Amino acid sequence: MVISITFILLTSFVEAMGFGNWLKDKDEPSGGEIEREFQTEASSNFTEPEPEPERSAEDNTETSSEPAEEPTSQSQTPEESSSSAGQLGIQELMNKRAKLEEAIDYVGLLIKNLKDKRTKLVKNIEDELVDIGNLKEKLTKINQFISEEKQGLEDLSAKRSRAEKDADEVGSIVYNMRDRIAEIDKIIADEANRIKSFKESRSSSS
């Protein structure tokens, strides 16, 4: 009964750990089969004792007169111990325990592999974060450069507009000065003609 309860607890633990299917693949009898085999073997080995014939008084006297034999040692040999252990299902239970240990070792290996993969993934993510941070910094500098260039182009455009305006003003001044110089030149030419006419008239009158 104790073995059956222990086996049921171990089976529940295996199913809770998710290794029920893994253990079922192994060709070994289950706990119920072990118990049934034990009961079958016990019933086959057990036979009812036959009734002993009645002994007469003389037989009893002879029996009492004979020296009592010393009891034989009841120690079991290793073969008998192993056979009794097999009948009780201890060997199968030990096999189950060994397989549970193998399953636990396998789970430990899976956990180690998962930890290694997670560590590698974390390192890759950290490296990517560093690279992305560097790219972000470069993009920030590029945006700053573009903003400065845009501001410089706007300033240059404003200066060009101011220079064009100044050039137009200078051109207007130059045109005005040319007109004024032309007027002055005309006045000088008129005065020169008048003086020439005056001199000619004086010379003709004399």
Number of residues that make up the chain: 206
- Cα separation, 161 vs 148, in Å, equals 20
Backbone angle region of 122, left / alpha / beta, with phi > 0 → left and psi within -120 to 50 → alpha = alpha
Query: Which pLDDT score is estimated for 196?
Result: 86
- Cα separation, 13 vs 20, in Å, equals 9
Q: Is the pTM of this model over 0.85?
A: no
Angle CA(188)–CA(194)–CA(197) in degrees, nearest 5?
Answer: 140
Inter-residue long-range contacts of 162-170, CB under 8 Å, 24+ positions, other chains counted: none
pLDDT digits over 124-157, tens only? Answer: 999 999 999 999 999 999 999 999 999 999 999 9
pLDDT band at 33 (very low <50, low <70, confident <90, very high): very low
pLDDT digits over 61-81, tens only? Answer: 444 444 444 444 444 555 555
pLDDT digits over 152-167, tens only? Answer: 999 999 999 999 999 9
- Cα separation, 185 vs 182, in Å, equals 5
Query: Which pLDDT score is estimated for 66?
Result: 45
